Structure 1
Amino acid sequence: MTVRVYLASGFFNDQQLQKVEKTEGILRAKGLLVFSPREHQNESLPLGSREWRAETFRDDRAAILQSDVVVAIYDEQDAGTMWEIGFAYANQKPIVILHINEEPVNIMITESLHAYVDSFRQLDEYSFYRLRKIPYEGDVT
């Protein structure tokens, strides 16, 4: 069985881009089928146009609904990523949060996540076939 993963993350600066690319690599090396919005930008449409926005929104929303699990990189607190987490939760998708700094996490995120991992190593070791629950134990905002 192939596990389908939706990867929620900002990719709007070098730091975000490095994190999302590393995460894509880790997930794919585990044999997971990864949908990363960074790779699905509807390049046939003018960037930022009404058509591009509508198509991108539809594609990302459909990919979340088709996923088995959502992995979200929390570090940048990107507004789009936060929406994707909420939409995934509302549609009963398990959410694995990757948070690789020590800042507190918003309580709405901590209470909606299925598993919390705080390093690329921990993400690499996590079984997406077993989906073990790992609660967040740190401070909240």
Structure 2
Amino acid sequence: MNKRNVYLASPFFNDKEIVFIEQVEHILESNPTFNVFSPRKLETPDFTPQTPEWAQHIFEADITHLDTADIVVAIIQDNYDDTGTSFEIGYAFATKKPVILVYNSANTQNLMLTQSCHAVVDGVEGLKAYDFDTMPRSTYSGKYF
């Protein structure tokens, strides 16, 4: 069985975001057909944080993993759009990768993000229920901005 590469795009800058991404990581990593890359777990011991070299290394590693991904799972926290996650969604869309957007509230969502995704699911429960074998399309049905 060939495993599919999954890229997990998400902000992880505060405790709320980290708790949510950890739940999503667990769901994805529990799927035996997936190899999951979560940028949150990228180790950079050879680089000093916040330097241009460190930034370039992270950028190149993320692009490499996006290029080799079969599926991108992206998390949107509330109606806040993390610019890095937005870039990753746009890059995946431009390179014809299916994006499964996971949002964690019924708040208004960015139409550019929801419209560029293959499927939109509501929270952890929506992700658990999503059938990655058949990859059905689904759309966001709330309000947009």
State the TM-score bracket (shorter-chain normalisation). Answer: over 0.9
| 1:12 maps onto 2:16 in alignment | no
Question: Structure 2: where are the runs of 5+ without partners?
Answer: none
**Please, what is the CA RMSD of the aligned residues?**
1.0
TM-score normalised by length of structure 1: 0.95
Q: In the alignment, residue 91 of structure 1 is paired with which amino acid?
A: T
Deviation at 1:100, TM superposition (A): 1.1
Give 1:36's aligned residue. Answer: 38
Give 1:108's aligned residue. Answer: 112
Counting matched residue pairs gives: 141
The CA deviation string for residues 47-68 of structure 1, in whole angstroms up to 9 with x for no partner, is: 1111110010000011011000
Deviation at 1:133, TM superposition (A): 0.6
Match of 2:47 among 24, 45, 62: 45
In 2, the alpha carbon distance for the partners of 1:16 and 1:44 equals 26
Q: Secondary structure at the match of 1:4?
A: strand
Question: Structure 1: where are the runs of 5+ without partners?
Answer: none
Give 2:93's aligned residue. Answer: 89
1:53-132 equivalences in 2 (<5 Å): 53-75=55-77, 76-132=80-136
Equivalent residues of 1:114, 1:133 under 8 A apart: yes
TM-score normalised by length of structure 2: 0.93
In 2, the alpha carbon distance for the partners of 1:107 and 1:78 equals 14
Q: Secondary structure at the match of 2:74?
A: strand
In 2, the alpha carbon distance for the partners of 1:140 and 1:43 equals 41
Range moving further from structure 2, 57-66 or 25-34:
25-34
Deviation at 1:41, TM superposition (A): 3.6
Q: Secondary structure at the match of 2:18?
A: helix
Range moving further from structure 2, 76-85 or 65-74:
76-85
Runs of 4+ in 1 over 4 A off after TM superposition: none
